[in-house]
Chain A
Amino acid sequence: MTGDKLIEVKNLKKYYNKGSLHALDDVSVNINKGDVMVVIGPSGSGKSTLLRSLNLLEVPTEGSIWFHGVDITKKKYKDETGAVVKVNIDTHREKMGMVFQHFNLFPHKTILDNMILAPMKVKKMSKQDATEKAMSLLKRVGLEDRADAYPIQLSGGQKQRIAIVRALMMDPEVMLFDEPTSALDPEMVGEVLEVMKELATEGMTMVVVTHEMGFAREVGNRVVFMADGKILEEAAPEKLFDHPCHPRLQDFLSKVL
């Protein structure tokens, strides 16, 4: 499973304020199938920007992102026959599930409607099929009895578990997590990490921006340390946490561990 390149990020740069702020400064990284890549670093280091660039919620200033052999940062490309094909970002986003710090469930829809909306509108799934699928996913995270509740009626941990299964409804090839536990009360962090861990065990490709070092060490197979918009160190978790090389990483770990 592991090894095939899924996403290739090449020389990605993101500048704000006409170039005075370098959120991403020449970042290159590959994400392979089955990877659980955890991105750590101090706030403002560009880790969220990198994650959000992967599905173009953030449009990079320079560089390219290759997904399924297509540079999704370009508006169009030439296929093997030389014909010009438009890049439709929606079809790529469909394959990249995303989970946000603040859940971003749709407050005007029930949990079930939150989950079946995109499959019905984008994949043209029938309501019945979508509902069946949603119910089995809800069962997996132990929330099948909340299908008809509205998001506001759920706890933070429950909301985030719903956000994860909502993304899973689209059968993504990779899941992007943007600080999924940072907005949660401490006692709810565990239930969300548990679901993520289960996903990782099933072989889902994941990119996780987090401050949960325990999760990074236990579940990640690669850990990337970012600071000032650059990737300063990348290694397997044991190596990165036990034998950090870069002084910035040593400093960071001494503060968070």
Chain B
Amino acid sequence: MLSIEGFQKTLKYWTMFEEGLVCTVMLSLFTVLFGFILAMIIALMRMSKSHILKGVSSVYVEVFRATPLMVQLFIVYHVLLADIDLPTFKMFGFIRFERFIPGVIALSLNSAAYLSEIIRSGIQSIDLGQTEASRSLGMSQWQTMQHVVLPQAIKNILPAIANEFVTIIKESSICWTIGVQEIMSAVNSVKAATFTIAEALIIAACVYFCLTFPTSKIIAYFERRMSRGDRR
């Protein structure tokens, strides 16, 4: 059970949580960045007129949504990247690059499948009249997407995106299984060293909460800012 002594013992290893926190943040940031770019490409592919692009992207989304993240992570780490020698330096002196990168790849591939469906529904929710008005003014398909459709679509899907970002932060904890030293890995190290785990888990939960809660608040702020056109 929880005890003051337990917390005292656990907090001796606070630097591990700190490093784990930095690692989780880096994992999430890279995943959000690559995941979003990939999701945008997949969403546009799914809406294209080409049957091949449509087919490839549909299969992608279905496969990644229908298989567990842990399986995907292990396939990336143990199969896809098994024979590839990644550089073995340490980011910030403690994040092992050769473990970190497979984690980012697996998380990005996974979240792109979900994000692309969010983006697609957002784009398709915009009235066709907006596109027609923009095209009738002589703007190209891409200009229309960039200046007319996407800004409105992103505003509409911001809550769903926020959800996905928070999910990424939480799910990044799975990267512990391939030896990425993020927050959950700190818990495990504390357990090995002190034979207590309850206090370490509580601390880990608090650290995750301190990450996810402000993230959703920050996005809610942008949501309010972007909805200026909705108010009379």
Contact A121 B147 (CB under 8 A): yes
Stretch at the interface among A24-32, A90-98, A213-221, A227-235: A90-98
Give Cα A98–Cα B136 distance, bound, in whole angstroms: 6
Do A104 and B130 touch (CB < 8 A)?
Answer: yes
Question: Contact at B137–A94, with CB atoms within 8 Å?
Answer: yes
Whether B226 contacts A108 by the Cβ 8 Å rule is yes
Interface residue B22 (Cβ < 8 Å from any Cβ of A)? no
Partner pick for B138 among A90, A105, A109, CB 8 A cutoff:
A90
Within 8 A of A (CB), among B60-100: none
Contacts of A189 in B (CB 8 A): none
**Chain B interface, >50% SS class:** helix
B230 and A104 contact, CB distance less than 8 A: no
Q: Is B205 an interface residue (CB 8 A)?
A: no
Decide if B152 touches A57 in the complex (CB within 8 Å): no
Q: Is the CB of B135 closer than 8 A to any CB of chain A? A: yes
CB of B133, distance to nearest CB on chain A (Å): 4
Chain B residue with Cβ nearest A101: B129
Across-interface contacts of B130 in A (CB, < 8 A): 104, 106
* Residues of chain A within 8 A of B133, CB atoms compared: 98, 100, 104-106, 163
A55 in contact with B136 (CB, 8 Å)? yes
Residues of A120-168 whose CB lies within 8 A of B? 121-122, 150-153, 163, 166-167
* Among candidates A105, A108, A170, residue contacting B155 with C-beta atoms closer than 8 Å: A108
Contact residues in B for A170 (Cβ distance below 8 Å):
137-138
Quick check: B147 and A93 within 8 Å, CB to CB? Answer: no
A90 to B134, CA, bound (A): 10
Closest to A98 in B: B136
- Size band of the interface chain A makes with B: 20 to 34
Nearest A-chain residue to B136, judged by Cβ: A98
Given contact pairs A57-B136, A104-B130, enumerate 18 new A-B contacts (beta carbons under 8 Å).
Answer: A90-B138, A93-B136, A93-B138, A98-B132, A98-B136, A104-B127, A104-B129, A104-B133, A107-B152, A107-B230, A108-B229, A109-B229, A117-B139, A118-B137, A150-B228, A152-B231, A163-B133, A166-B137
Residues of A at the B interface (CB closer than 8 Å) are 55, 57, 90-91, 93-98, 100, 102, 104-109, 117-118, 121-122, 150-153, 163, 166-167, 170, 176
B residues engaging A (CB < 8 A)?
127, 129-130, 132-140, 143, 147-148, 151-152, 155, 226, 228-232
Q: What are some 18 contacts across the A-B interface (CB < 8 A)?
A: A57-B132, A57-B136, A93-B135, A93-B137, A100-B133, A102-B129, A105-B133, A107-B230, A108-B152, A117-B139, A117-B148, A121-B143, A122-B137, A122-B139, A122-B143, A152-B229, A152-B230, A153-B232
